[in-house]
């Protein structure tokens, strides 16, 4: 068993930018910040936010 524990933390902020009046589709601004590093990204899709976190974790 590995006694060394690595913790990686992220702050995810989601801000509603717009709502299409016809389709009611919401447009989001998602900012993901890596707490232990200085990396951050702003995306409009949750899948892109998750991909960023995966890249950081796999480094």
Looking up tokens 């447009």, which residue turns up?
27
Give the tens place of pLDDT for each residue, 17-31. 999 999 999 999 999
pTM comes to: 0.83
Residue 52 has pLDDT above 60, yes or no: yes
In terms of pLDDT, which residue wins out, 4 or 16? Answer: 16
| pLDDT interval class at 59 (50, 70, 90) | confident
Q: What is the pLDDT of residue 50?
A: 98
Q: What is the pLDDT of residue 47?
A: 98
Say how many CA atoms lie within 13 Å of 46 toward its Cβ. 5
Cβ partners under 8 Å of residue 40, min gap 6? 31, 32, 33, 34
Q: Where are the domains of the chain?
A: 10-58
């Amino acid at each position: 068993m590995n006694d060394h524990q690595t913790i990686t933390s992220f702050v995810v902020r989601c801000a509603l930018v717009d709502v299409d009046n016809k389709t009611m589709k919401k447009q989001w601004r998602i900012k993901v910040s890596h707490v232990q590093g200085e990396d951050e990204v702003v995306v409009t899709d949750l899948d892109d936010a998750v991909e960023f976190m995966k890249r950081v974790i796999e480094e």
